[in-house]
Chain A
Amino acid sequence: MGLLSDPNRRRALISLLTRLNTPICLVCYMAGVAWFMGLAFEPFTLRTYMSENAMGSTMVEERFPAGERALATGREFAAHKKKVGGMPVDWLVKTMQARGLEVFTQSFSRTLPFPDENKERYMVKGTNVYGILRAPRAPRTEALVLSAPCSPGDNNQAVGLLLGLAQYFRNQIYWAKDIIFLVNEHDLIGMQAWLEGYHHTNTTGMDWSPLQGRGGSIQAALSLELSSDVITSLDLVLEGLNGQLPNLDLANLFYAFCQKIGVLCTIQGKLQRNDWDSVSGYSHAVQTMMLMVMKQASGRPWGDHGLFLRYHIEAATIKGINSFRQYKTDATTIGRLLEGMYRKLNNLLERLHQSYFFYLMPSLSHFVSIGYYMPAFGLLTVILLLRALDLWVQLATPPTRTEDGVADIEQSSPGVLSVLTPLVISHLTGVALYTLPIRFQEMAVEHFPVSETEAVVLTAIAVYTAGLALPHNTHRFLSGEGTEQGWRVLKLVAVLYLAVLLGCTALINFSLGFILALTLVPVAAFVTPHIPKVLSAFILVILSPACTLLFSVFFFQELQEMPVSFQDGWLLYLSVISQGILDHFLYGSLVYPLIALLVYPCWLLFWNILFWK
């Protein structure tokens, strides 16, 4: 502990850090961004590999024969779906029973806090149908799930394939785990109801009927989305609720089987390229990685699998994509791929835990683990710590200009209590941002000619903007105003608060933490009451969480090669806000409460400092 106890070396180090504070901060920021961009560069990544020994070499020949019959079943399903006008429960029950499964249904209902304009639903009622294939020789302790969501127009082929696979699996003797074939209605809401019923939890306030049949603890789950008879590639979707990802072994399994069977596989809809040393190859990898970062940061589940992850079940969604390529894959091949995957999962002795849970994928065969991407975030956080150290040193040294001895001593001890008022007011504004939009939507609909969804979103934006006017109104209540010490103490507290907040966020959801750090760390580092007010107010608003979200929406559309105009982008932004609020109330996503209750008050503290008188 020589550094901490030797006063000469301490003094030298501290004076170095305070003298070179700004240059070091700039270097760290650029190093952090450069490190992050360098993550997609192929020599810096690792090839994916199977970590779980139980899923190692099994020389199995997949023999699923009935692709055409599966497609025919899918067409029948589509016809019955159109006839009933929703989920054809009776037909599904009869068909599954004919295939020898134990069939059960679950009905559920939920009234959304406000109408969902993307999917046009408000009071949702539905039924899930699932059939359990009991393992012939093993006790009923573990299960695997294959699910296909029942959507109004699409996904009939997936249900057909699911039923075809059920029939084929029923005739095999090697199953050691129960397989549950699930067709859920109203995609994520139905899936949430089924999972809550299966695990006897009720975290989101949904009404569901109890499940009559169960299969043991679920080890892995796959969700199928297939909308055409032939496909050109299979896309893997990994991002789940709150940015949680399944074990990397599941992605490795999928990739291994796509190689074996010879199906093109993509991630984020992008095919892998081999020319990593060219600029376009590198930018392709960066785009793939940035898409994953954006999707993870949004905190919403990007497929029906996303809700399984919370229950410690590794799950992924496989989407079939039919685009303009020459080589088409038929349903039999997809069936064989799924058969192979399920046979491998059948061999698992324990849950998938050997491989990484925290990773980024610039392509399907390469990954970046947490040990490689965390330093990028760490470099950004170091800026905050350096600033805090600088402020502490400034606060601890007595001011050079003193009025008299008594005042000198009083000023030299920083009053932490004076910071309490801005903190409390900022957090109350955050609480208002969290509760008011939902609570006052009826009142807003009465007074303004908008729909409920628009009312909620516009109230949120209104509360957010009203918070900007706070410093002008609350100066009367601030006790430490007028002193140089006052804003320094507030900034010290705010910087440390932001550092802890970003650290905790990055541990749970790295992408969200990193994106927030990218925009909020410069704000935190450079805001003082002495910089030019108009320009810095503008920059602060640009870097605030709401504008970050706006830019992210445009950036996301650019990455997906579907750029939007400004009006469309603005409407998309409003729908993103409403989806975020809905995700929180329906599935328990933490992004909206985090931003409203913690990040926004922190940003308001910096806004307060800027307008400190």
Chain B
Amino acid sequence: MLKLSLVTCCFVLSVVIEGLALLDLGVSPYSGDVFHETPLIIYLFHFVVDYAEITFMLADVITAVALYLAVKDYNKQVFRKQKFALEADRYPLDCLELIRSPKEMYYIPLKVAMFYLLNPFTILSCVAKSTCGLNNAVIALFILSTIKGNVLLSAIFLSLATYQSIYPLTLCAPALLYLMQRQYIPVNFRRASFWWFIVQYAFMYLGSLFVIICLSFFLLGSWDYLPSVYGFILSVPDLTPNIGLFWYFFAEMFEHFRLFFLCVFQINVFFYTIPLSIKLKEHPVFLIFMQLAVISIFKSYPTVGDIALYLAFLPVWSHLHRFLRNIFLVSCVLLACSALFPVLWHLWIYAGSANSNFYYAITLLFNVAQILLVSDYFYAFLRREHHLTYGLYLKRKDGSEATLVLK
């Protein structure tokens, strides 16, 4: 029960097995209000239900390997771009210490893979047999195919990820930016090549999505999986406590305002795409990291597996650590909250001494710490870019030392 609170009751293996059981009886698995997974998952588990643990472990291994290969390729490109910029003399002289060397970048892919595999959140997610592991594998494969520059595979994996849970739709923007960058298409609204590429990608993406949805229809013979899966994610009917922000709010809300707040909360996930894309259009991989973080904080049913996926990216930005300001506070709060989650759950549900307010307080604190972590990395990234353009030691007009303030 405690594990289920951290990994969300709705997306666990036991629920999938219940869906399979209903299917075996000839009834639609969505008729009970418990099962909210997509038909492809049922189809997959129909074959591997006896080897479920191996499946989840394999999914984690696939994610780790995909992240390893992706980050290796990305590092090569970063280094190549840096070399060109150095040769073109685009960096001011005093920021040579910000330049990254191959030696420091050599172990980063391995660190990324280890960060993912050895993260206690990943292990917890695997032990609790949450289908989030499979979602992470699909997103990792999407990232790998995007970074390798394979447009078709990127579109296919993105449509699979969107099919599973709607939120990876926001990863369209960084994927488009990266692929355009790789193919030297300028990101300019007035150029025809820009729109032509978008049309191509959209066609591949929507086409594969259409194929997958129709495949699901033919698997189960009915369309009632659409309201059960997507209606469930969007309209949040199940308010079992989890580590997200939705459950407490909607538990105490009046019915009259439910739709309004639902729209507000859901728009919040998608809202940051456009501003972030505009700001980070030169750095799409960092944009992917930010989007993954935003999704896993603000989605309707987050689990610790989602958090593990974006935390795995942190070694890629380890060169930013000199610009990070709140990393100590954030890591202390994250650590303390992770330790307090089971304690307060126990006090609330088993001992009966605490109540939901205690648990939600920790949830809020946990999410605030995550937001602070992400915004800190954003600040550090932008600051490094600023220094690379304007020099490391800033001087005001009269020659005294200046400090950078984020307004």
Contacts and interface: CB of A to CB of B under 8 A. Distances in A.
A351 B354 CA distance: 14
Contacts of A121: none
Interface string A378-411: 0000000100110010000000000000000000
Contacts of B77: none
B260 interface: no
Contacts of A413: 321
- Specify the main secondary structure of chain A where it touches its partner: helix
B343 interface: yes
Interface string B125-144: 00000000000000000000
Contact of B325 (A4, A309, A351, A496): A4
B321 A312 contact: no
Interface stretch (A435-443, A478-486, A502-510): A502-510
B351 interface: yes
A472 interface: no
B10 to A, nearest CB: 26
A7 B405 contact: yes
A392 B343 CA distance: 27
Contacts of B353: 244, 357-358
Contacts of B253: none
Contacts of B328: 388-389, 392
A350 interface: no
A312 B352 CA distance: 6
B406 interface: yes
Interface in B338-354: 339-340, 343-344, 346-347, 350-354
A282 B403 CA distance: 56
Nearest to A405: B97
Nearest to A499: B336
Contacts of B325: 4-5, 7, 10
Interface residues of A, number: 27
B343 A7 contact: no
Contacts of A4: 325-326, 329, 372
Contact of A388 (B326, B332, B343, B372): B332
A613 interface: no
A8 interface: yes
A413 B325 CA distance: 15
A6 B325 CA distance: 10
Interface string B380-407: 0000000000000000000000011110
A4 B347 CA distance: 33
Contacts of B335: 496, 500
Contacts of B336: 499-500, 503
- Specify the main secondary structure of chain B where it touches its partner: helix
A504 B352 contact: no
B255 to A, nearest CB: 25
A599 to B, nearest CB: 14
Interface in B299-329: 321, 325-326, 328-329
Contacts of A501: 339
Nearest to A505: B343
B351 A244 contact: yes
B285 to A, nearest CB: 23
A353 B348 CA distance: 12
A5 B340 contact: no
B339 A507 contact: no
Given A312-B352, A357-B353, A500-B336, A507 B347 contact: yes
A508 B352 CA distance: 11
B405 A6 contact: yes
Nearest to A312: B352
B403 A496 contact: no
Contacts of B351: 244, 309-310, 312, 357, 508
Nearest to B340: A504
Contacts of A503: 336, 339-340
Contacts of A358: 353
Contacts of B326: 4
Given A312-B351, A508-B347, A7 B340 contact: no
Nearest to A409: B97
A496 B338 CA distance: 13
A10 B321 CA distance: 17
A353 B352 contact: yes
A385 B332 contact: yes
Interface of A: 4-8, 10, 244, 309-310, 312, 351, 353, 357-358, 385, 388-389, 392, 413, 496, 499-501, 503-504, 507-508
Q: Which 9 A-B pairs have the closest CB atoms?
A: A357-B353, A312-B352, A500-B339, A504-B343, A392-B328, A7-B403, A500-B336, A507-B343, A5-B406
16 contacts: A7-B403, A7-B404, A10-B325, A244-B353, A309-B351, A351-B352, A353-B352, A358-B353, A392-B328, A500-B339, A503-B339, A507-B340, A507-B347, A508-B343, A508-B347, A508-B351
Interface of B: 321, 325-326, 328-329, 332, 335-336, 339-340, 343-344, 346-347, 350-354, 372, 403-406
